[in-house]
Structure 1
Amino acid sequence: MLREINFDGMIGPSHNFSGLSPGNLAATHNAGTLSHPRDAALQGIAKMRAALALGLVQGILPPHDRPNIRWLDQLGTAMASAGPRLRSDALSASAMWAANAATVSPAPDTADGLCHLTVANLQTMAHRSHEWPQTLAQLRIAFADSRHFAVHGPIPPPFGDEGAANHMRLASSHDAHGVELFVYGVGGGPYPARQHREASEAIARIHRLDPRHVLFAEQSPAAIAAGAFHNDVVAVANENVLLVHEQAFTDMDAVCSALQERLSSVVIEQIPAATVSLDDAVATYLLNAQLVTLPEGGMALIVPKEAHDHPRVAAWLGALLAKNGPVRRVVPVDVRQSMANGGGPACLRLRVVADPQTIDPRFLVDPARLDRIEALVRRLWPVSIDPGAIGDPALWRDLRRARTALLEELGLSELDRM
């Protein structure tokens, strides 16, 4: 039975605020401040518990090896001799944002009936460009059953690909043939456009998608300039529902018309800028939410507390529920540490539509397993990290020890050798 599974990126022990991502306003605003990796990981675990409580299937992707010594070796340096910026890049915990791990096309959409996953190259930002080998290693283990999955390496440079954060799928149900919408950016504004159209087009071909059910939409330069560095900051889709800010795309009318032509049941809820400005949407990560189908029917919107507590945004959420439409519940979660580094609930998860029985069970969690992971985090994750202390070799050893213990708990120690 095909179900949507959310694979959350486990927030790693090296979570810190180094401000490495131009265009990510939260990350650059909080650069140089004290981070709290233990609290961050516990918040992520609590979000996974909230999803399980809704009756959803929940997966996990463990953190990467940090600092990334192999990457520094390729650059001809070492952690002890690298400059401050390279040290920060090598120590980044940004793989926690699993929405950037890959682009996923489920079996109902593909010509060969396989679920296709293409690992994102993330080549625009140095601190993320070295993630893909470890992400690919995880994907090839989790989705190793070749009867059901095809896992692909990254799109080659110079074409930037940032994964599911710039990809949406709409369908009458998760197990029905859907329309896949790829969102790309165009350079020339104050911040780099991270998703190239050429990369999106290549993924559509590699995934063997029907061109009649594929759309390519340009992200609005205004949205990028406002800090919507990925489309999932200004739009979220689930089954036949699309929630989108009216300034998300360069040509909103054309996108909506094309979707309506391809999926007659589509429900599009546009958020007017006069009701919620782009600045408010970005600051609260209103649409960097998880829109999920509930087992009993209807949908829930898992939002950051920042959105739930903001007067104008809360008013829009109340009006959405009052329509008695597909969205029946709003579930606020505290992911404050992730938000401070520029990632809300949706950033932390990769959506995969598949039969859970076909996935390596070591990547799936239940409440008891989360209890054990939480106990380990409380014991081994640093309470805080000052960006000025990232050159401390004792810290590096502690980070490695914490990750190794987690991999042992998950039964994934082979990842320690990859």
Structure 2
Amino acid sequence: MTYEVNFDGLVGPTHNYAGLSYGNVASLSNATSVSNPKEAALQGLEKMKAMHDIGLKQGIFAPHARPSLAPLRRVGFSGTDAQVLEKAYKHDPILLRACYSASAMWTANAATVSPSIDSSDGKVHFTSANLNCKFHRSIEPETTTNLLRAMFANAQYFAHHQHLPEQPFFGDEGAANHTRLADSHGSKGLQLFVYGSSGFNSDIKGPTKYPARQTLEASQAIARLHQLDDKQAIFIQQNPNVIDQGVFHNDVIAVGNENVLFCHDQAFIDQTSSLTKIRQAYIGEKPLHIVEVPTHAVSVEDAVKSYLFNSQLITLPSGEMMLVAPEECAKNDNVAAYIEYMLGAKNPISQVRFFDLRQSMQNGGGPACLRLRVALNEAELKAVNPEVMMSEDKFIQLSAWVNKHYRDKVTEQDLADPSLLQESYAALDELTQLLNLGSVYDFQRA
């Protein structure tokens, strides 16, 4: 038996709205709003618990230590922790906000994962994303790798790769631009890598307004590192026009699960040709279902506002497929009408469940952003650090931990408060014990 385990990012105690992500419409439009880290973390835990309760395997991905003081010290802010924060707040508040960002909660960007059934060495492969398009995310890869190694430590089953070179030619945003299509999670599959531009080939035209964060070269490198057969990897370009409309990752316009690809009709460049290539490359025996949402039913603007495609598409223990969608989908008339139509149409998606993830959504991340998908067979699942798996007791422990340590309001002015740093570091020190993570954090204290 093989399971798809979703490892959801636990929202960190410094969650705030800094508007750092150019190209992410929700992030920019909510810049400087007052955030509620406690509510955000509890919303995420409720979703994790709900997935566990319906019989899925659910994991927890710990937040990163924030603020990250090392970048601030590296660019000349010196003194005690409090002095560093005070100077940065006064002289470079944008940089300070970046070093406080809790963006690691969106674990769809943490790494790209290939299951053992697809890799020639029979191991599950992880490559942490370099996230070099945005400074606040580019400081994540080393901690991400440390966390993955603490969660998937057994070298008999798991292979970990260093993030790709930190140059724009190899821009890599992780699983947000990668999905896997297969008859089942335990069957050999086709890994679909979606890129926005090429680092080296100027003939491949990218967007003109917003940056293309994933390069073809990065996707090809990951396929090599993960020892994928050429027949099991396909590289398709995202439509640059939708990137310029705020579709900063492919998972904002398309999502796949087993033998279903759910996408907008403007998701890919030369859509008809791209979908034909995917159909021809599919290696399963079951029919591949492509559920293509027409623009006249759901515009790109509605897709971005509602995060319809940033929903999770999951297979229930019954074998039915469910769309796990943000509440914003139910509140958008066009999107809600299409979902109702889709559930009655001839395709494997038969259920929908809506979740309140407003704190994450306002910063530009929906249900699919919050989770990293890892397909594991029975032996591999047993080799996972058991303390990072959701259970009744773990939910109670983590909810109590959040209520003990998290603030219910963080403003821009709070980022200059050294007590927020102290609270955050103390909380994560306790979390490493709850999740048995060892020494994954370098708190860089002075």
TM-score above 0.5, yes or no: yes
Please list every run of at least 4 consecutive aligned residues from structure 1 whose deviation after the TM superposition is greater than 4 angstroms: none
- In the other structure, the counterpart of 1:146 is 155
Q: Give the match for residue 87 of structure 2.
A: 81
Give runs of aligned pairs for residues 249-264 of structure 1, distance below 5 A.
249-263=268-282
1:340 equivalent in alignment to 2:374: no
Match of 2:210 in 1: 191
What corresponds to 1:37 in structure 2?
A: 37
Confirm or deny that 1:382 pairs with 2:407.
Answer: yes
1:81 deviates by 2.4
**1:322-365 Cα shifts (integer Å, max 9, x gaps):** 12531121010110000000000000000000132121112211
1:359 counterpart (364, 380, 384): 384
In the TM superposition, what is the alpha-carbon distance from 1:76 to its structure 2 partner? 3.3
1:17-39 deviation per Cα after TM superposition (whole angstroms, max 9, x unaligned)? 00000001111100011000000
Letter in 2 for 1:190: K
Percent identical? 45
Q: 2:251 aligns with which of 232, 242, 245?
A: 232
Distance 1:367 1:183 in 2: 37
In the other structure, the counterpart of 1:65 is 65
Matched pairs, number: 418
In structure 1, which of residues 392, 396, 409 is the aligned counterpart of residue 417 of structure 2?
A: 392
Aligned counterpart, 2:106: 97
- Paired with 1:50 and 1:365, the residues of 2 have a C-alpha distance of 10
CA contact (8 A) 2:133 2:213 kept: yes
Q: Which residue of 2 aligns with 1:304?
A: 326
Cα gap change, 1:292/1:397 in structure 2, threshold over 3 Å: closer, same or farther? same
Report the residue type matching 1:408 in the other structure.
Q
CA gap 1:413/1:151 in 2 versus in 1, 3 angstroms: closer
Matched residues in 1 for 2:12 and 2:24: separation?
A: 20
State the partner residue of 2:48: 48
Any idea what SS the aligned residue of 1:155 has? coil
Give the counterpart of 2:124 among 111, 115, 119. Answer: 115
1:12 alignment partner in structure 2: 12
Is residue 287 from structure 1 mapped to residue 312 from structure 2 by the alignment?
no
Q: Is the 8 A contact 2:325 2:353 kept in 1?
A: yes
In the alignment, the residues of structure 1 paired with residue 189 and residue 340 of structure 2 have an alpha-carbon distance, to the nearest angstrom, of 29
Work out the CA distance in 2 between the residues paired with 1:313 and 1:102: 30
Matches within 5 A, 1:305-324: 305-324=327-346
Select between 10-19 and 183-192 the one with higher mean Cα deviation: 183-192
Change (3 A) 1:381 1:140: same
Give the TM-score taking structure 2 as reference length: 0.91
Contact 1:171/1:239 (CA < 8 Å) preserved in 2?
yes
| Distance in 1 (alpha carbons) for counterparts of 2:435 and 2:155 | 23
Bigger mean CA deviation after superposition, 147-156 or 75-84: 75-84
Asked if the contact 2:103/2:137 (under 8 Å) is kept, the reply is: yes
Q: CA deviation at 1:413?
A: 4.4
**Residue 80 of structure 1: SS of its match in structure 2?**
helix
State the alpha-carbon separation in 1 of the partners of residues 76 and 350 from structure 2.
Answer: 54
Shift of 1:198: 0.7
Q: How does 1:126-275 map to 2 (within 5 A)?
A: 126-158=135-167, 159-186=170-197, 187-263=206-282, 265-275=287-297
Shift of 1:143: 1.3
Distance 2:180 2:273 in 1: 17
CA distance in 1, matches of 2:383, 2:300: 40
Q: Which amino acid aligns with 1:99?
A: A
Name the CA distance, whole Å, in 1 between partners of 2:296 and 2:270: 18
The answer to whether the Cα contact below 8 Å between 2:207 and 2:244 also exists between their aligned partners in 1 is: no
- Find the partner of 1:330 among 330, 348, 352: 352
Are the counterparts in 2 of residues 32 and 388 from structure 1 also a CA contact under 8 Å?
A: no
**Paired residue type of 1:101:** A
Q: Residue 323 of structure 2: SS of its match in structure 1?
A: strand
Structure 1: unaligned runs, 5 residues or longer:
none
Query: In the alignment, residue 32 of structure 2 is paired with which amino acid?
Result: G
Q: Which amino acid aligns with 2:185?
A: H
The amino acid across from 1:364 in the alignment is: M
What is the TM-score with the length of structure 1 in the denominator?
A: 0.97
In structure 2, C-alpha distance between the alignment counterparts of 1:188 and 1:160, rounded to whole Å: 15
Moved more, 238-247 or 151-160: 151-160
Kept in 2: contact 1:259–1:266 (CA 8 A): no
Q: Is the 8 A contact 1:114 1:149 kept in 2?
A: yes
- The one-letter code matched in structure 2 to 1:275 is A
- 8 A Cα contact 2:234 2:281, kept in partner: no
Hey, what's the Cα distance between the residues in 2 that align with 1:212 and 1:408? Answer: 43
C-alpha separation in 1, matches of 2:358 and 2:207: 32
Q: Which amino acid aligns with 2:87?
A: S
Q: Match of 1:332, SS?
A: strand
